[in-house]
Each structure stands twice: as structure tokens, then as C-alpha cells.
A and B are shown apart, each in its own frame.
Chain A
């Protein structure tokens, strides 16, 4: 009879289907973990540092196609950080403008450079720790550039002035209070003399 044939067919299908998947509750697929991921960074060796570690860079660095970086003019010059030590300029929190009270120090640098045309100056900009790191690195540079701008308007060619920001990485005073922070928000003048 038709019904028995349908029932037979259904039961056979059901049995075959179950046989294929198994009646197990927990099929176990085995996922192989490779020692080094095929794509993307990182690799996993045995428990411990990254597979092979990170190759520490040797000293030779490829320079690529950079020309006219602006640093060539200062190459080989001798640094004298002590010469302008008393002319370190201090800044208000989060500001890069030269305060009127600090101007005489910048004037000292201007006068010296005018009388010593072979010399140049490096201005190092610094911040206190209260900004985020990259923001502070940019703020330190703004402070140094603000001083270069001042020197330029006073008659010192900008090519004689190099800027370098340390952000919050080189505090003058290692403490977390207003007095320390005030001492850290600064720009230092480093005299550069040509090699004799």
C-alpha cells in the first residue's frame, strides 16, 4: 500500500540522516593551531615571547629617498647647552606664546647670534605631564617654533634655528605639582658652534 511505501521511505531517510550526523551530543572538530599564523602579525611559539622574538634593528638604517630634510645645515656642529642655560624660556599651561616677562631672554639669544654670524641655535621644547603624549610632543614643537618665529622677526634667519620637541619625556623636575610643572613647561636654547 502507498502508505507503507511512504513510511518506509521516510524511515529510511531518517535513519540515513541520523547516521550521517551521528547521535553524539558533542561532535569534536579538531582545530590545528599553527606555530606561525599564515596571515597577519604575530606568531606563537611555545609558551613565551613571540616566535623568534623581534629582530632588534642593527645600527645601519636605510635613508631612502629623503633630500633636503633641513637637518643638513646643522650637521657636525658642536652643542653648548650651558651657554644659554640662564635664558630658558617658561610658558603658561597649554600655551606656546612668548610671555612679555620672558622676552628679555630671547633678546639675549638674538643679540648673541647677531654678533656671531657663524653660530646657530637649537631650541628644545618641553611640556609638563598634564597633556596626552602626542599632544605634548606637538606642543613642545609649537613652543620651539614660536621662539624661532620671534628670533626671525628680530632679524635672525630661520635657517640658523633648529627646533626639537621632547614633549613630556625630559622633565627638568621629576615631581607632580604646580612648581615642578611650571619648571617643565620650557624651551631651552642650545648654542651650536661650527667645528673648528
Chain B
């Protein structure tokens, strides 16, 4: 009788001691949404990367930096990313102090770059619980002097390829959510007209070609409607139509003129900039029609080019103050924990557009007589330029 009891006790103790060294219960991670853009103390999360090289390392560093991580040595890091990129990318994410593994993954198929983007997405999902951006795309205007074309590239600027070759002028490309479909302004037919362009078939349709100005197309979150700036009513104003341009409706009738419409993530409101009060300011108007209402930007004047974050919390915009500066303000319907509705100045730049993660913004900045594309992590204010493409690159749009 004594023997079996001792044996069982021994077994139990053995298992308990093994259990202590196996992967334990999930680590408590701080979920930073949705107040991330209004945390004035936001600091990057320090990581130590090891085992990666070349393109894979470059992709990891870019994707993680623009989502609020920084890179340091093992002693100073909060998390370790260990991996390899031989025939395929492999990566392990560990807590730096306890050395507990959070995950270990390997990737197969696609390019090494695509695998590296996927690993970065998994790291961000584990540590910040944000939607992935690594395999989304950016569209932009590439200007080479007298003409400009629409380009599409990876989020780090790699693989930029022309979507147009019209030898004309283009402006304001905008993605249709969830589709390889771009809307943009082109002077190809001798007038600034709005087209939709299927990137897979090459098919183009005229969406708006009224006498005067047709520009600044932006798709509703469900892709069914397009808001635009048309001057057919006598001044540049906000109009809305079905995505094919039919059922046109005028939303604003200001005499001074409006620009840069953007949609709320629930599709009910449009935010835009107007000179109606004498200087540029932000306003909202119901997408189905109604009165325009001022959106105050306390502390910041001359607000223009708004973009509404997908999580509904933030509006990023450009202020004209000598140089252009990106700013962020709480969106209508959202109040940050500290209750302040102040607008916060971020960095020098213009033309901001949110990533699906509602913290990274792509924008353009002026550098030596041309514009270059850059990314901003709003909470930490870290910025990083995209790979330089020749010519002047501006008016970026992040795929939705």
C-alpha cells in the first residue's frame, strides 16, 4: 500500500514540476484601442530583433516602427523577436523578462517579403490587438513634371507600379473598400473628371464629368456611394452619388467653397473643409442631406484635409500655418478619457490618410522642391519615409 501511494505522489510532483516549465497561461496585454491616439504619454514598445536579415529584416523594422515599436538590445527590450529567414520566415515572440513564448510561427508560400509582413502583423496582433496592415496597399500620385500618373505600392513603398499611362494629369486617388478598384481625377479627356478604374481588368468608367471641376472622390465604407467635390452648382461643393455616379445629390451649397470630403466609419456623416466662415475649418454634414455643422479644432486654426479613423475615434487633418502640419482631434461622438476635445499638432506634413489600424497615417511631406510619402504613428509621433520613388509623390490613399 505504501509503494503505490509513494509512486503516485512522485508522479504528481513530477508533473507539477514539468508544468512549471511549459508555456503558461496567456500574458496580460494592455489593449490600447480605442484611446491610443489621445494618450499624450504614449511611448513605443521596445523590441529586440535577432536572427533576421536583408529584406525580411527591413520589412519587419518598417512595419513595426510605423505601428509604435522601437528597436533596442535584449536588456532594454520589453519583448524579443527571434527568428530566421532561410527558405522561409520563422519567428518567435517572447516576453523579454520572463522569456515566456507568446507565439512561434513559420510561414510558407508567397514571397519572403509577404511572409515578413505576415509575421509583423502577427506581432502587432499579439501585442496591440490591431487589424493587420502588412499586406494592404497604398495608391498615390506620382508627378514627373508636366504629367502625373496613379501608382500602387506596398505600404513601405516597395514594388510601386503604374496604374495609368495617360500622359496627362491625375489627382486624388481613392480606394473602394475591399476591392482592387480605384477612383481618381484625371484630365485625360480634357477636363478634371472622376473615373473608377478596375485594377485587374483595366476597365475604366466615367463617374463624374460635369463642366468645371470634378475631384476629391471618396467612397463610403460599404463602397456603395461616392462623395465628391463638384463645381457644377456654381462653387466647389460636396456632392454624393451612387458609386457609378448616378443619383447625384448636392450636400453643401456654400458660396466660399468646400474641399476634401471624408466619410464617418458608419457611413452616416461626411466631414470636410470649408472656407465659409472666412478661413478653412472642418465641418460635418449628414450623408443623406441636412445642415452642415462646425467641427471645432480647439487650439488649431486653418484646418483642412480631414480623414476619419476606421475605429471612429479620431480625425486627422492638415493645418495651414506657414508650413503644413498634421493634427489629430477627437471625432464627433467620441470622447477621450481625459475629456479634452483639443486638437493636437503632430508633425510637419499634409494629405493624411488612415491605415486600417486607426493609429498609422500615410501622408506627404515637402522635401527639396518635391513631395515624398511618409508614415506617421500617431500615438508616438514616430515617422518613417517610404522607399523613395523618383518624381514627386503625393496624395496617398491607404487601401481599406
Contacts and interface: CB of A to CB of B under 8 A. Distances in A.
Chain B interface extent, by class: 35 or more
Contacts of A82: none
A81 to B, nearest CB: 13
Given A57-B203, A131-B320, A134-B171, 19 more contacts: A11-B12, A14-B19, A18-B18, A23-B18, A31-B118, A41-B136, A42-B180, A52-B200, A57-B166, A132-B318, A132-B324, A133-B171, A134-B215, A135-B304, A137-B259, A138-B215, A141-B212, A163-B211, A164-B212
Contact of B209 (A52, A71, A74): A71
A54 B399 CA distance: 15
Given A54-B161, A69-B211, A32 B108 contact: yes
Most buried by A among B12, B21, B23, B318: B12
A186 interface: no
A53 B180 CA distance: 12
Contacts of B206: 61-64, 66
Contacts of A28: 90, 104-106
Nearest to B234: A145
Interface in A62-92: 62-66, 69-71, 74
Contacts of A26: 92, 101, 104
B31 interface: no
Contacts of B137: 41-42, 50
Contacts of B201: 55
B104 A29 contact: yes
Nearest to B216: A134
A56 B167 CA distance: 12
A100 interface: no
> Nearest 5 A-B pairs (CB), nearest first?
A70-B211, A55-B202, A33-B110, A14-B15, A26-B104
Contacts of A141: 212-213, 231, 236, 257
Contacts of A23: 18, 21-22
A163 B231 contact: yes
B389 interface: no
Contact of B19 (A18, A55, A163, A167): A18
Contact of B115 (A33, A39, A176): A33
A179 interface: no
Interface of A: 1, 3-4, 7-8, 10-11, 14-15, 18, 21-23, 25-35, 37, 39-42, 44-50, 52-58, 61-66, 69-71, 74, 131-135, 137-139, 141-142, 144-145, 162-167, 169-170, 176
B200 to A, nearest CB: 6
Interface in B151-195: 152-154, 159-166, 169, 171-172, 175, 178-181, 185, 188-189, 191-192, 195
Contacts of A49: 159-161
Contacts of B260: 134-135
B386 to A, nearest CB: 15
B244 A55 contact: no
A169 B257 contact: no
A57 B258 contact: no
A121 B383 CA distance: 47
A131 B322 CA distance: 10
Interface stretch (B3-11, B39-47, B63-71, B289-297): B3-11
Interface of B is mostly: mixed
Nearest to A164: B191
Interface of B: 1, 4-5, 8-9, 11-12, 15-16, 18-19, 21-23, 55, 90, 92, 101, 103-115, 118, 122, 135-137, 141, 143, 146, 148, 152-154, 159-166, 169, 171-172, 175, 178-181, 185, 188-189, 191-192, 195, 197-213, 215-216, 229, 231-232, 234-236, 244-246, 257-260, 273, 280, 304-305, 318, 320, 324, 350-351, 369, 394-395, 399
Contacts of A40: 135-136, 178-179, 399
Contacts of A133: 141, 171-172, 351, 394-395
Given A3-B5, A135-B305, A142-B235, A56 B213 contact: no
Given A134-B260, A162-B211, A57 B106 contact: no
A62 B203 contact: yes
A70 B198 CA distance: 27
Given A41-B136, A66-B209, A164 B192 contact: yes
A95 B179 CA distance: 39
B210 A55 contact: no
B231 A56 contact: no
Given A66-B245, A131-B320, A169-B169, A138 B258 contact: yes
B5 A57 contact: no
Given A30-B105, A41-B180, A71-B191, A54 B110 contact: no
B171 A65 contact: no
A1 B5 contact: yes
